[in-house]
Amino acid sequence: MTLTVKTHWHRPDFTLSVDMAFPSQGITALFGRSGCGKTSLFRVISGLERVADTYVSFQGRAWQSNAQFVPLHHRRIGFVFQEASLLEHLSVRDNLLYGYRRTPEAERRLQLDEVTDLLAIKPLLNRRIHEISGGQRQRVALGRALLSSPQLLLLDEPFAALDSATKNEIIPYVREMTNRWAIPVILVSHDVREVEQLADYVALMEEGTVRSLDTLEQTMRDPHSPLFREVEPATVLSGNVTAQSGPRIFQISDGTCTWLTHSPRPLTINESVRCQVKASDVAIALQPLQGISIRNQFVAVVESLGNEQGGPVLLKLENGHLIFADISEEAVDELRLKVGQSVIALIKSAAILV
Ligand SMILES: Nc1ncnc2c1ncn2[C@@H]1O[C@H](COP(=O)(O)OP(=O)(O)OP(=O)(O)O)[C@@H](O)[C@H]1O
Using only C-alpha atoms, the chain has a radius of gyration, in whole angstroms, of: 22
Distance 196 CA to ligand 1 centre (A): 24
Number of helices (H) and strands (E), helices first, in the chain? 8, 20
The per-residue pLDDT string of the chain (354 residues; one tens digit each, 9 = 90 and over) reads: 689 999 999 998 999 999 999 998 899 999 998 899 999 999 999 999 999 999 999 999 999 999 999 998 889 999 888 776 888 889 999 999 998 888 888 888 888 998 888 888 899 999 999 889 888 898 899 899 999 989 999 999 888 877 777 788 788 888 888 888 889 999 998 888 889 999 999 999 999 999 999 999 899 988 888 988 888 899 999 999 999 988 889 999 998 889 999 888 889 999 989 999 999 999 999 999 998 989 899 999 999 887 656 678 989 998 888 899 998 888 888 999 999 999 999 999 989 988
Q: Which residues contact 34 (CB under 8 A, 6 or more apart)?
A: 190
Q: Are residues 87 and 118 in the same domain?
A: yes
**Last residue in a domain, options 212, 228, 244:** 228
Q: Are residues 27 and 136 in the same domain?
A: yes
Please give the single-letter amino acid code of residue 318: E
Q: Does ligand 1 come within 6 angstroms of the Cβ of 189?
A: no
**How many separate domains does the chain show?**
2
Helix (H, G, I), strand (E, B) or coil at 28: strand
Distance 108 CA to ligand 1 centre (A): 34
Q: Are residues 135 and 88 in the same domain?
A: yes
Q: Under a CB-based contact definition with an 8 Å cutoff, are residues 282 and 347 in contact?
A: yes
- The dihedral sign for the CA sequence 249, 254, 259, 263: negative
Q: Does ligand 1 come within 6 angstroms of the Cβ of 153?
A: no
Q: Does ligand 1 come within 6 angstroms of the Cβ of 190?
A: yes
Please give the single-letter amino acid code of residue 157: E
Please give the single-letter amino acid code of residue 258: T
Residue from 36, 43, 187 whose mutation best tests the ligand 1 pocket (most atoms within 8 A of CB): 36
Q: Are residues 222 and 251 in the same domain?
A: no
Q: Does ligand 1 come within 6 angstroms of the Cβ of 43?
A: no
Q: Quote ipTM for the complex.
A: 0.95
Q: Does ligand 1 come within 6 angstroms of the Cβ of 14?
A: yes
* Domain of 126, in residue numbers: 2-228
Closest CA to 313 of 300, 322, 326: 326
Alpha-carbon span 199 to 169, nearest angstrom: 16
**Last residue in a domain, options 228, 255, 277:** 228
Q: Does ligand 1 come within 6 angstroms of the Cβ of 37?
A: yes
Q: Are residues 160 and 300 in the same domain?
A: no
Please give the single-letter amino acid code of residue 91: S
Q: How far, CA to CA in Å, does 349 sit from each of 94, 133, 163, 169, 254? A: 44, 32, 24, 20, 16
Alpha-carbon span 261 to 278, nearest angstrom: 13
Helix (H) or strand (E) holding 146: helix 134-146
Q: Are residues 139 and 260 in the same domain?
A: no
Alpha-carbon span 259 to 252, nearest angstrom: 5
Q: Are residues 6 and 146 in the same domain?
A: yes
